[in-house]
Amino acid sequence: MSDALDRLDLLDLDDDLDGDDRLLRDTVRKFADDRLRPNIRQWFEDGTLPARELAQEFGALGVLGMHLEGYGCAGAKASQYGLACAEIEAVDSGLRSLVSVQGSLAMFCIWKYGSEDQKQQWLPGMAKGELLGCFGLTEPDAGSDPAGMRTRAVRDGDDWVLNGSKMWITNGSLADVAVVWARTDDGVRGFLVEKGTKGFTTQDVHHKISLRASVTSELVLDDVRVPESSRLPEGLGLKAPLGALSEARYGIVWGVTGAARDALASALDYAGERTQFDKPIAGFQLTQKKFADLAVALQHTQLTAARIGALKDAGRVRPHHISFGKFSNVRTALEICREARSILGGSGITTEYPVLRHAVNLETVYTYEGTHEVHTLVLGSKLTGLDAFR
């Protein structure tokens, strides 16, 4: 596989990694190859994941909340976090989802909007993967338009009482703490709801054909009483969860380059070995056209990720940069995986090869963290100055 990876790097982008970046990338790649890749097919087929065990291993690897400072987090560069996301998603988008929901959504919300006590209580254990978090924004009737949320938090003395439900929540039933966004008389606010709190239950979503190596749950809040100290004091208004989503979308911009790279490397290896009409199918012009198109498209996604990483490291990243990356890279990665699948012929429709698994996973990535259409509208608004959301 590494020979295929070398061949796919037509622009020698690998040469731009400095020593630290390369060490980090190689360490995560080795963990992915030794621990994740040999098991992913089974996890995906069974629709189960040893998530707690894996979380602790990701914690030991240092990737949970790795771009955050303090509280046991590594304080790495945004571009280094991106490299890690790409290596993990090269195995499976579900595994990258586990890492990004923990670090970029749940931990980020506590780190950015939480009180000092909340940070001390949760972040060190979450960085180690001993404690898991989830992020509850989406509801059955409020997806692309989170302003339509119905979950309500009402003040009652020193407490808040929460009622409502959240849908499609990654790590939902696993989480020791759920970051729940709810409507109050003063606007949207964030609350930390601990597992086991009376009235708080979860139910997993089954029968998924995408992101099977990931836990997806519904959260139900039925008169859930939490103290004022559970409210995120700095999480004021819808801009707070949207800020966290920007962080997670950034990881996606990089992550999907890994999924596309893995699919294409797999097709390149296969085409070199598969013989038809007395020669390897890699030797046919039609196959080579596919490889040329797909390899160039892959490097465009990697260049886009590197540019947005550089903007983020320089503190200059803006929401439309992130939308550019999510819009462009997820669409391209999905197209690469679909076309790469065709190179494997019939073999491409089984889980023996990762290609179609990556493609069906990317159907989720196309939809979550702001659908492709929503990011289209963000770019349209930036270009024209006119909002077309309603």
Q: Looking at 155-163, 185-193, 322-330, 360-368, which segment touches ligand FAD (CB under 6 A)?
A: 360-368
Smaller CB separation from ligand FAD, 58 or 135: 135
**How far is 272 from 86, CA to CA, in rounded Å?**
25
Read out DSSP for 25-60?
A: HHHHHHHIIIIIHHHHHHHHHHT---HHHHHHHHHH
Kindly state whether residue 367 participates in binding ligand FAD, applying the rule CB under 6 A.
yes
Kindly state whether residue 193 participates in binding ligand FAD, applying the rule CB under 6 A.
no
Q: How far is the CB of 91 from ligand FAD (least distance, A)?
A: 17
Kindly state whether residue 364 participates in binding ligand FAD, applying the rule CB under 6 A.
yes
Kindly state whether residue 43 participates in binding ligand FAD, applying the rule CB under 6 A.
no
Q: Which two tokens stand for residue 245?
A: 């989503």
**How far is 188 from 161, CA to CA, in rounded Å?**
14
Smaller CB separation from ligand FAD, 165 or 304: 165
**How far is 99 from 105, CA to CA, in rounded Å?**
10
Kindly state whether residue 373 participates in binding ligand FAD, applying the rule CB under 6 A.
yes
**How far is 353 from 348, CA to CA, in rounded Å?**
6
Site map for ligand FAD, 195-214, x if CB under 6 A?
----------------x---
Report the candidate in 98, 101, 93, 94 with the shortest Cα–Cα distance to residue 262: 93
Read out DSSP for 178-210?
A: EEEEEEETTEEEEEEEETT-TTEEEEE----SS
Report the candidate in 177, 180, 226, 172 with the shortest Cα–Cα distance to residue 204: 172
CA angle at residue 52 from 27 to 226, to 5 degrees?
A: 125
Residues 138 to 157 in contact with ligand FAD, rule: CB under 6 A: 138, 143-144
Q: List the catalytic residue out of 89, 218, 369, 373.
A: 369
* Residue 228 host element (H or E): none
Site map for ligand FAD, 74-103, x if CB under 6 A?
---------------------------x--
Q: Looking at 23-31, 121-129, 137-145, 351-359, which segment touches ligand FAD (CB under 6 A)?
A: 137-145
Q: How far is the CB of 286 from ligand FAD (least distance, A)?
A: 33
Task: Work out which of 13, 161, 360, 374 binds ligand FAD, going by CB under 6 A.
Answer: 374
Q: How far is the CB of 250 from ligand FAD (least distance, A)?
A: 15
Q: How far is the CB of 367 from ligand FAD (least distance, A)?
A: 5
Task: Work out which of 103, 114, 129, 136 binds ligand FAD, going by CB under 6 A.
Answer: 136
Q: Looking at 18-26, 83-91, 130-138, 344-352, which segment touches ligand FAD (CB under 6 A)?
A: 130-138
**How far is 83 from 64, CA to CA, in rounded Å?**
13
Q: What are phi and psi of 51, to 5 degrees?
A: -65, -40
Show Cβ contacts of residue 130 under 8 Å, excluding neighbours closer than 6 positions.
55, 56, 59
Q: How far is the CB of 287 from ligand FAD (least distance, A)?
A: 33
**How far is 198 from 226, CA to CA, in rounded Å?**
9
> What's at 374, amino acid-wise?
V
Q: What are phi and psi of 48, to 5 degrees?
A: -135, 165
Kindly state whether residue 371 participates in binding ligand FAD, applying the rule CB under 6 A.
yes
Task: Work out which of 126, 169, 188, 298 binds ligand FAD, going by CB under 6 A.
Answer: 169
DSSP 3-state of 11: coil
Verify whether residue 69 is a known catalytic residue: no
Smaller CB separation from ligand FAD, 216 or 266: 216
Q: Which two tokens stand for residue 158?
A: 């020193």
Q: How far is the CB of 25 from ligand FAD (least distance, A)?
A: 26
Which residue is closest to ligand FAD by CB?
143
Q: How far is the CB of 143 from ligand FAD (least distance, A)?
A: 2
Kindly state whether residue 135 participates in binding ligand FAD, applying the rule CB under 6 A.
yes
DSSP state of 138: -
Kindly state whether residue 216 participates in binding ligand FAD, applying the rule CB under 6 A.
yes
Report the candidate in 212, 217, 296, 255 with the shortest Cα–Cα distance to residue 41: 212
Kindly state whether residue 173 participates in binding ligand FAD, applying the rule CB under 6 A.
no
Residues that bind ligand FAD (CB under 6 A): 101, 135-138, 143-144, 168-170, 211, 216, 364, 367-369, 371, 373-374, 377, 389
Give the catalytic positions in this structure: 369
